[in-house]
A = this chain, B = another copy of it.
Amino acid sequence: MHLLAVGGSDAGISAALRARELDPSVEVSVVLADEYPNFSICGIPYLVSGEVVDWRHLAHRRREEFEALGIALLTSTTARSIDVAGHRVLATDAHGERVLPYDRLVVATGAVALRPPIDGLERLGARDGVHLVHTMDDALGVLATLEGRAPERAVVVGAGYIGLEMAEALTARGVAVSLLEALPGVLATLDGELGERVASELERHGVEVVTSTTATALEREGSRVVVRALRHGSDGPPAPVEVTAGLVLVVTGVAPDVALARDAGATLGARGAIRVDRRMATGLPDVYAAGDCVVTHHALLGETYLPLGTTAHKQGRVAGENALGGERSFAGSLGTQVVRVFDLVAARTGVRDEEARAAGFEPVTVASSADDHKAYYPGATPVHVRLTGDRPTGRLLGVQMVGAGTGAVHKRVDTAATALFAGLGVDQVSDLDLAYTPPLGSPWDVLQVAAQRWLAER
């Protein structure tokens, strides 16, 4: 039995590891297009900031570990097509064509960075100090620009997770940052009230936050790049904005990389991602798929597309198990996410009003805030919560949180995610037996205060 995974990031590696764990007699190979197997793409901002001092440290595992595990890595090898009937993948490497036979295939081709319609983006690249930030090569390119040009200012286009993390990373390196976002607020994955707290934190650390502003053109000017944009006001025509910078990062999201599977006949679903069932089966015989290239089964929303590293790991694990004949199901995503932005942490799990309404709920969202621990003990800091529940049934639907890094927001959201996973009602959240000691908590946890506020106000 030979399991072949195409893709050397979270999903492909997880599938390979799970297969070896379940059956050490299975032959397992992983094909990847670059030289960076099992690298932490999520860690790129911390490489750029200098907190991670060597790019090699971003590897979750070293090559020797894969050898020890009996997993063969075929690096710098690009899968070109799948011969489903013949159970083989046709690939190319430096030496030419390769034919890779398999018994079971896991497609884990991931996603590609979106290229928004910015004039000049197609012409300018890493050599001009203009970068997408999605791969290790991208990351090393950004480092080269930082070292080679020592830019005084950077423009980051896109204020999602990666944009915020890159804004912080560049600030940490002493680069002045202008953050351009087409939407009216940063981190649009949170409600505006919480997004504004994140924007304030960015500004407090010197980041110029420019929202409602769409980048339209890039133009090289000597060793720098002029970024032209349009700022949309509440009335009147959009106002031109222009920033000149030595470094430009375009981080406006990703799209699933589906060509390999699509060309082999796989069905596509939400946002053009490969459609898989909860067993991660594509419908093509013996072909599974997982990670950023596939649709996401969301516990509340059904089929959606929500590429996250945590989800890729879980899907990969399921695919690896089922490829060997297992019967695991992906339990469902809740879109749980967290980002640290300077001294603040923002997190969410579940759905917000609009998504909940679209899914047939009658959502009510109630804002509250409570200290992370008893106020009499030094260092207490408020955690701001927006809790969404279904009015008629009282079911918990989602939680958003923003608080200081010392407030354990990143693990508080896990309590909410677990309650959501279990389908608890908001009143049951108030009933949870959570941990308390004065320097680290309160007898009623922040989340329980939020639940009680919701119950009183819904």
Contacts and interface: CB of A to CB of B under 8 A. Distances in A.
A342 to B, nearest CB: 11
A43 B435 contact: no
Interface string A307-324: 011111110000000000
Interface in A37-74: 40, 42-43, 46, 51-52, 57-58
A349 interface: yes
A299 B333 CA distance: 28
Contacts of A314: 431, 433
A99 interface: no
Contact of A345 (B21, B422, B440): B440
Interface in A416-451: 417-419, 421-424, 428, 431-441, 443-445
Contact of A438 (B42, B432, B456): B42
A445 B414 contact: yes
A284 to B, nearest CB: 25
Nearest to A337: B435
Contacts of A42: 436-438
A391 interface: no
Interface in A331-386: 331-340, 345, 347, 349, 374, 376-378
Nearest to A431: B331
A90 interface: no
A411 interface: yes
A413 interface: yes
Given A410-B441, A411-B415, A424-B422, A433 B376 contact: no
B417 A432 contact: yes
Contacts of A299: 433
A89 to B, nearest CB: 26
A406 to B, nearest CB: 9
Nearest to A347: B435
B349 A310 contact: no
A439 B52 contact: no
Nearest to A378: B51
6 contacts: A43-B374, A299-B433, A310-B436, A331-B431, A334-B433, A418-B422
Given A418-B419, A418-B422, 7 more contacts: A42-B437, A46-B439, A57-B376, A310-B436, A331-B431, A338-B440, A418-B418
